[in-house]
Each structure stands twice: as C-alpha cells, then as structure tokens.
Structure 1
Amino acid sequence: MAKRKTRFNPWPENAWCSAGMTDTAMIDRIRALLPERRDRGQVAHFREWKGAAGHHFDLAFDASYRTGDGAAVKARLHLELDDGPSLLAQMLGRPLEEDHPTRTAWSVTALADRPWRLEWPTPAEFFFPDDDSSWLVDHFTGKLPLYTALTLEEELLTSSRFIQTLERMSEKPWYAVVFTHEPEHLEKQPDLLDMLPPGARSRVLDIRLQGSQDWMVNEILGETRVHLPMGGGVIVPAAFTPDGWSTAKHSIRAAPGGVGDTLREVASRVTEYLSLPMHQSDHVREELRGMESWVLPELPVGASLALDLQAEAKADAERARGELERTLKELRAEQDLRRQAEKRAEAAAREAELLRSDPVRERLAEVEAERDSAWEGYEAAERQADDLVQTVGWLRRQLAQVPGRSYGEEAPARPAAPESWEEMFELVELMPHIALGDLQPGLNKIRGHQYEGLWRRRTWECLEALEAYAEAKEKVGVSMLPHFASYLVWEQADTMIPATWHVPGEALLQRSDTRWRGSRLFEAEGLGEVFMGEHFRVGGVRPPAPRMHVYDDTAGATGKVHVGYLGPHLKNHAGR
C-alpha cells in the first residue's frame, strides 16, 4: 500500500471528482447524448472543446444542470487518448486479447453551489449513456468494474503487480477500494454497490473474496495496520487519511445476520468514509483551477432553490434568536452573581471597618490565640520533660555499670551550628535527602532579629534529624518508619530533636477549602505545587514565631524531604 502522509489538504466541500477508462468510440455517443439530455431538461447548457497545447487532455465537455433539490452544478469531462497496453496486462506480464489500441481515459470534476451530497447522482452519468456501463471501470487497468462486485483468481491476487495497482488506486483520493469476504461461496449474492448512495457510483471498487483469499489480502495489508476480518470487510487505507477518520474504522466485522447484514454494515461505513472531504491531490487541484475558466451561462436561481434559501435563512434566524436568548440568560445569571458578590464584598468591608475601628477587640483575639498556643506548648513540654527525666535516670544507671564510667561525667557540648544561613544552605547541599525551595522571601523577614541565632541552630538541628530519618528509612523500610513522627519514638534514632518542635500536619487546613490553605502551597522540585502542612517550630509562640514547612516525599518519586518555607508563622484557622 502507499505510505500514508501526515499532511492532509481537503478538497472543497462542494466538489466531486472521479476518473475511469472507456473506449474511444464512446466520444461519438457523448456528442449525440448531450443534446438529447438538454432537450429532456436533464442539462441546461453544454459545450465541447479541445485542450490547448500543453494540456493533459485531448478533448473536454462541459455541462451545467440542477439536482432534484435545486442545487446548481457545473460538471467537466476530460478525455485523454491512451494507446499503451492496459495496466492489467502489465500486471500479469502478458498481453490480453481484449486490449484495444484506442482506449480513452476520462475524468469528471464538478462543483455545486452548496456542499456536495452523496444523495445526488454521479455527475459522470450526465455524460455517459444509461444503457452502457463500459465506462464504469478503473482509471489504471480499464478492467476493474466500478458497477458490480469483482472476483479475482489467485493468480492475480498473488501477483506482486496487483499490490502496485492497489498502491496507485490508494493514491487517488476519489477511489475507495473495498474488500469483502465470503467464507463460503454463495450462488446469489447481494451487491454492495447497490446499497450505496447514487453519488458513490464510479468511486468504489468492491473486490469480493472467497475461502482463504482473506489471508492473502491480509498479508498485503500487513504494513497498513488494518486487516480484513473473516466474513467482514475492509476499506483499503488511502495515501492521505481524511480528517476525523481513525484506523479502526477501516475494518468491518461480520454481522450475525449473514452476508446481507454484513454488506449493509460495510455500505454504511463506506458511505461515512465518502462523505468526508478527500485529499486535494495535484490532479484535483489542477482540475478545480481549470473550472475557474467556466464559460457556460450561470444558472438562474430557481423557484425551489429560492424557497430553500428562504427556509435556510429562516432556520439561521431561528438559530441566531436561540443563541441570543441563551446569551441573554447567561448574562442575567452573571449579573445576579455579580450583585451577590458585591453584597458579600460590602459586608466584608463593613466587618473590616469594624475591626479597624476596634483595635482592642482585634488585639484581644490575637492575645487569646497566643495564650492557647502557649498553654498547648507548655503542656507538651511538661510531658516531654517528665519522659526525659525518666530516660536520663535510666541512662545514668546504665552508664554507671560500664567499667571506667561514673555518674559524675558531664554531657558533651552541643555541636556548633552554622554561623549564617548561607553557610547552612551550603552544608545542606551535602545532604542527599533534603531539597530546599525558594526560602528567601520568608527568611528575609526574620533576618536581624535578636533570636536569629537560636532559630538558625534549631533549623539546622531539624534538618540534621530529617536527613538521619531519611537515611534510616532507606535501610529499614517504610513499614518501620512511615513518617518522621515514628522516627522520633524509634529506639534506634541517633539524631534527635524535641518532639514538641515537630507538628505532623494541619489536618483542618488540608481537609477544608479555607483561604489559609493556599498559603501553605509551595513548589517542590520534581513534584510541582504541593500542600506543606507538616512544619517545625524553630521559634516560640511570640511573633514572628518562625516555622519551617516541609513535604515528606521520602517514600515517593523523589525520595526527599522538600523544604518550602522558612519564616514568620503563617495564618491559620485560629487567626494566628
């Protein structure tokens, strides 16, 4: 098959095109037929003319007519003498006795004054006689019928030149090559072409396969990624796939009702395929450009067409009126929402004004929040102090039992902390499990404070503990250390911080859609924006009460703890 291209250029929606082969003697019949069709009112005007030097055709006929529903159509027939042997003889590699030395290639291009409908007759029928179907053959071999199903012997199906024929036909956008398969031979067979709309005539080649011939065709179709289902049908992919047509639509499975139902399914799929705009190949583009030199009189607007246009204009007006009503409805709803938002804004402004006018009330709320937080911290510290007293006593007893040790030994001094935030950040780069975000905006707000050194020490100790936690988690697994809080009570933890420094999360903010939740959304490298409710109290409860917010992804894709914020306490549901 021809390789499908990716660039698709559809022909105009009001265009129709096809091509085929006939005998040179048909020219005289066309000359005699067109006057008869004019006298019977089938065509309005016609003319015969010859191609000038350099044209790809020898003779041309133009005809204009109206369809049954009043559409005006301009149709042009080009005839080109072909004195060479038929492509079928070339395919078989031997001459055919029925080859005629004066074959004539034909092509018909038509334009309508509205989008083309497959329910309209094939424009080629206005040029060729009704009682002669010899012109309904393909453009290349002149032997493949376009008016009935074609059965082929295995000699031709297995010929490599048959593949070349399919490739050439798939490159012509007006053709739809269809294979239909009958597992068993039937004497009386429905004809697929009889089930198609009139406008599909001369554009569809139906090749009927029997028995195991579907295997042979599927070998040919292998590289196209489509196949012929047993007892079903397949539309051979064209060089340019129409927009809106997927690969899966090429194949049609056998229907449960038998061959007749299957062919009706195939006919429906082929009709859908032909209804799409086809690719505007060089030949089609040249033919459409030639239609610009139309010299026959333009058809006047008929009564039926005027009624159609009037009905169409009325329908357009109804649609416009409906769209206007919907737009007005949406506008009214938007205005209602705007009025409601204005009322809420006014109420919020009044409340803010009351707060501004009553600073004592506002300060009282802040003091109460600070008091509650201080009591919570005090109670937690008292519990931890009790635990530490018991632990220290136990450790002293254990130490006294070690030879050379005694109760009176002093504890070693705490390791020195980094002397600046910048030095700390440089040291953090040596921690493979810690990732720092943009901390400068919050950090700048606590620089120069009298307790900055204390906050820096606590921050550093928290980071060391987090790195130790991540390293331990890699060794013992998630089930042992699912989170940092579990590390703080793990008996093998060797880098510790007071448990009161650590706040596992802010469940209320994470679950509810509050205005404060957004202030805890920070960027994490490799993860995007994440909620960082977990934080560390690197300062006390008195403002600015610095906090360090983190996101624990040690069990996730990055394997790191991401630090997103370091600075003054963020607003929470209690107003702090």
Structure 2
Amino acid sequence: MPKSSTDRPTAPETVWLTAGTHTGPAPQAALREHLRELKNSERIQDFLETENTSTPDGHVFEARWLVDDDITVRARLVTDGREHVDTERRWTLVAEAERPWDLSWPSPATMFWPEKSDFSWDRDAAAGLRLQDINPLPKEDAALRRLLKDIARHSWSINVVVHEAMTPDHEGRLPLSRLLPPGLRHRVVEHRATPEQFHAVNWALGDLGTSVPRGGAVILSGTPARIGYDEQDFRVRSVFLDGSEPTELLDSILRFAALPRPLPDDAVAALTALREEWRLLTMEEELAHARAMAASYAEALDAMTKSRDLYREATELAHAALADMAEYRDAASAVRAARGGVKHPLTKSLQRVTDSLLSRRVPRGDALQEARASEERARESAG
C-alpha cells in the first residue's frame, strides 16, 4: 500500500474528477432524462448507458462533448447501486479532455446531473456535505473531530475551513461556490466554524497538523497531501464575510487546485475504467478499432502459421533423431551380443563367413603337418 504522495500516481492535467452521493431512489432516471435533453439541444454529442456489472442495480453513463469548439471531452459517471444512510447512493465521475483541463470549461457534473432536481446529487461522497453551499461544523466536539478526520482521509474534494470572526449577515452567508470558476464548483466543500468554535475547531484540526486563523481560513491538504503542499501557504489570515469577494482565499483555492494531485485508490480505478472500458465510440473510432482488431488477428494468424511450420520442422528433426538413435541402439546391441557369445543375427552371419574361411584353410594345414612329419623321419634314418 502506498505510504506517501510520491508512491501514488498523480492525476494527469487532462483529467477532472469528483465523487458524490445522490439522495432518493433511481438516480439513473434523472441522469438519463438530463442527458437526453443535452443531446437534443446539442450540448453533448452523444451518451451511452450500460449496467454496472460490479454492483447490483448500478449503472454506467458515458458522454462525449466539445469544449472550445474542437476539444473532445470524454466522461464516465458510475453509480454503485448500493444504498447508504437515508437511501444515499455513491457516484463517481471522471472526465478527460484532449488537452490540459481549463477551469473555465463547463463542469462535467452539470453535463450529467440537472442543476435543479427533486433530489440532491451535489454532495461530497466522504460525509454527504453539500458541494455548492455552506456546511456548518458540528457543535459537539467528538463529532467535529470525527468529521474533519473523515473528510481529510476520504474526500476527493477540496475542503476549506472558514472561521467566522463574528456572526455574518445575509451577505456573509453566501457560499464560495458562486465565485469559483465552473471547473471547481463541484469540487470544493466549504466548512463554516462559528465565532465560539475557534478553540474547538483548532483542537480538532491539530490532529491534521494544521489550524485556522481567527476570522480566517485554511485549505486542508487531503490524504495523501498534494505534492508541494505547505500548510502555511494555504492559510488565509482574514476572510471578510460581508459580501465582498475574498480574493486571497479564492487565489489560494486556485493555487491548491493546480498542485499535482496523488490519486486515491478508487480514483485510479475510475480513471483506468474510463480509458480501458470506453464504449461510446464515433464512427471513425469504430472503424479504427475494427482495423486494429483485424491487424491483431492477422498478426496472431501469422504467428500461428509460423509456429505450425516450426513445429512440423521440429517434429521431422525429432523423428530423424529417433531413427538414428534406433540404428545406434541396434549396432550397440549387436556388439554387446558378439562379446557375450549370444548368437545375434549379425554375429551368426559373421560366424558363417569365418567358418567358411577356416574350412578353406584346413587342407593347407594338413599338408604342412605331413611334410614336417616326413622331414622328421628322414633325420632319424640319417642318424
């Protein structure tokens, strides 16, 4: 398991991703209807819906659209189908463009989910907190500590903790999301601590190695921390909640979003699925895919043919070697049989030849013996 941010792959600059929850039954109905409307209005080129085979009642939605007229974006939203507390269902969304992501482009979340719905879909997956509104921190200390620890460990969003120096009026209760570029509106969770929660929230943030200035804000690092994150660089000393634009805080959020982002395990799987399981192909892509498959089959067939020829050649060589071994074995057996007195067929043939030669030499031997006997008799007579 990766132990630090450097052990994990980072999100490519072309990728936009988030994870959330949807309250209410059948989120796929809302998704399907909204995607049809966008296709009919030509805001998206096309979409495709399939079942999520990894979980019962889960669905996969793919959509493709253009940004800046000629840059294609491919996005994949997955609902897991499993019901959580209060019938919430988790969803993940990953989009990838042909060029590095521009935060001025439309949020991919709005290309799937309708802005106005009977049920809420724009909630962070880690704790069910709202993505486009203010989230007051819990009053109870243990719940506060548990919440901050959970979002720091499990949230895919950018979590910003803002401490109110004094109770704000209506203008001060407007969420940050309205001031963020479209590409960040569904990736930021804004937490608010009341004036009297200053010590309690810093006690809880101490577990995370950070703190919030009085009347200021801090951006949490996440787990693992983004590469290049320095807690001091993302603490804002003063945030005026009077309806004015908090320029310093917005700038800090933009700088934080630009840091290389180590991907959580679930995000790695989601990005891999977008790239490797994509099914919403254009005609040109289908043709290219068919050609690639044909070329792959041709290569496989060629390899099989070469393998067959090599196998045939190897078989013939093996048979020849076996024949040579058989001949050698017969010859060796014949030699052993000859040495051991066993009448091997070859030995018998050799014996017949030998006997024939010896039979021809016997008369010559008898005559020589007779001559020697005569010579001996002559010597005796002379003596």
TM-score scaled by length of structure 2: 0.66
Verify the 8 A CA contact 1:118 1:275 in the aligned structure 2: no
Deviation at 1:31, TM superposition (A): 1.4
User: Are positions 1:164 and 2:146 aligned together?
Assistant: yes
Verify the 8 A CA contact 2:11 2:262 in the aligned structure 1: yes
Greater Rg over alpha carbons, structure: 2
For residues 240-264 of structure 1, what are the alpha-carbon distances to aligned partners after superposition, in whole Å with 9 as ceiling and x for unaligned?
A: 2222332212211115x66555733
User: Are positions 1:288 and 2:271 aligned together?
Assistant: yes
For residues 274-300 of structure 1, what are the alpha-carbon distances to aligned partners after superposition, in whole Å with 9 as ceiling and x for unaligned?
A: 122311221111111111221212498
Matched with 2:301 is none
| Separation in 1, partners of 2:57, 2:152 | 22
For residues 167-221 of structure 1, what are the alpha-carbon distances to aligned partners after superposition, in whole Å with 9 as ceiling and x for unaligned?
A: 3322346311111111111222142111111111221110112212121111111
User: Are positions 1:186 and 2:162 aligned together?
Assistant: no
User: Are positions 1:149 and 2:129 aligned together?
Assistant: no
For residues 368-410 of structure 1, what are the alpha-carbon distances to aligned partners after superposition, in whole Å with 9 as ceiling and x for unaligned?
A: xxxxxxxxxxxxxxxxxxxxxxxxxxxxxxxxxxxxxxxxxxx
Matched with 2:94 is 109
241 and 8 in structure 1: CA distance in 2 versus 1, 3 angstrom threshold: farther
Matches within 5 A, 1:531-542: none
Matched with 1:36 is 37
Verify the 8 A CA contact 2:49 2:62 in the aligned structure 1: yes
Matches within 5 A, 1:309-348: none
| Separation in 1, partners of 2:89, 2:283 | 31
Query: What code does the residue aligned with 1:297 have?
Result: L
Verify the 8 A CA contact 1:183 1:230 in the aligned structure 2: yes
Matched with 1:224 is 208
User: Are positions 1:63 and 2:59 aligned together?
Assistant: no
Verify the 8 A CA contact 1:170 1:176 in the aligned structure 2: no
Deviation at 1:44, TM superposition (A): 0.4
1:269 corresponds, among 252, 255, 265, to 252
Verify the 8 A CA contact 1:177 1:236 in the aligned structure 2: yes
For the residue of structure 2 that corresponds to 1:130, the secondary structure is coil
| Separation in 2, partners of 1:208, 1:122 | 24
User: Are positions 1:48 and 2:49 aligned together?
Assistant: yes
For residues 217-247 of structure 1, what are the alpha-carbon distances to aligned partners after superposition, in whole Å with 9 as ceiling and x for unaligned?
A: 1111114332100111011221122223322
For the residue of structure 1 that corresponds to 2:91, the secondary structure is strand
Verify the 8 A CA contact 1:170 1:238 in the aligned structure 2: yes
181 and 4 in structure 1: CA distance in 2 versus 1, 3 angstrom threshold: farther
| Separation in 2, partners of 1:56, 1:233 | 42
For the residue of structure 2 that corresponds to 1:154, the secondary structure is coil
Query: What code does the residue aligned with 2:202 have?
Result: N
Q: Gaps (5+ residues) in structure 1?
A: 87-98, 301-576
Query: What code does the residue aligned with 1:62 have?
Result: E
CA RMSD of aligned residues (A): 2.6
User: Are positions 1:206 and 2:190 aligned together?
Assistant: yes
Verify the 8 A CA contact 1:34 1:46 in the aligned structure 2: yes
Matched with 1:140 is 126
TM-score scaled by length of structure 1: 0.45
Verify the 8 A CA contact 1:197 1:271 in the aligned structure 2: no
Deviation at 1:6, TM superposition (A): 5.6
Verify the 8 A CA contact 2:28 2:59 in the aligned structure 1: no
Matched with 2:327 is none
2:116 corresponds, among 126, 131, 139, to 131
Query: What code does the residue aligned with 1:164 have?
Result: R
Deviation at 1:50, TM superposition (A): 0.6
272 and 228 in structure 1: CA distance in 2 versus 1, 3 angstrom threshold: same
| Separation in 2, partners of 1:74, 1:51 | 18
Higher relative contact order, structure no. (Cα contacts within 8 Å, ≥ 6 residues apart): 2
Matched with 2:228 is 244
Matched with 2:217 is 233
Deviation at 1:83, TM superposition (A): 2.9
Matched with 1:336 is none
| Separation in 2, partners of 1:83, 1:74 | 27
| Separation in 1, partners of 2:262, 2:57 | 22
Matched with 1:478 is none
- In the alignment of these two chains, the number of paired residues is 278
Matches within 5 A, 1:322-401: none
Matched with 1:21 is 21
Matched with 1:371 is none
262 and 32 in structure 1: CA distance in 2 versus 1, 3 angstrom threshold: closer
User: Are positions 1:10 and 2:10 aligned together?
Assistant: yes
Verify the 8 A CA contact 1:173 1:279 in the aligned structure 2: no
Verify the 8 A CA contact 2:62 2:76 in the aligned structure 1: yes
2:157 corresponds, among 156, 168, 175, to 175
Deviation at 1:8, TM superposition (A): 4.7
Q: Gaps (5+ residues) in structure 2?
A: 285-383
| Separation in 2, partners of 1:290, 1:153 | 37
Deviation at 1:68, TM superposition (A): 3.6
Deviation at 1:128, TM superposition (A): 0.8
Verify the 8 A CA contact 2:79 2:90 in the aligned structure 1: yes
| Separation in 2, partners of 1:216, 1:4 | 29
For the residue of structure 2 that corresponds to 1:212, the secondary structure is helix
| Separation in 1, partners of 2:196, 2:183 | 33
2:103 corresponds, among 101, 109, 118, to 118
173 and 209 in structure 1: CA distance in 2 versus 1, 3 angstrom threshold: closer
299 and 193 in structure 1: CA distance in 2 versus 1, 3 angstrom threshold: farther
Verify the 8 A CA contact 2:5 2:226 in the aligned structure 1: no
| Separation in 1, partners of 2:246, 2:57 | 37
Matches within 5 A, 1:402-421: none
| Separation in 2, partners of 1:10, 1:173 | 16
| Separation in 2, partners of 1:57, 1:166 | 31
Verify the 8 A CA contact 2:59 2:80 in the aligned structure 1: yes
| Separation in 2, partners of 1:73, 1:232 | 37
69 and 222 in structure 1: CA distance in 2 versus 1, 3 angstrom threshold: farther
267 and 191 in structure 1: CA distance in 2 versus 1, 3 angstrom threshold: same
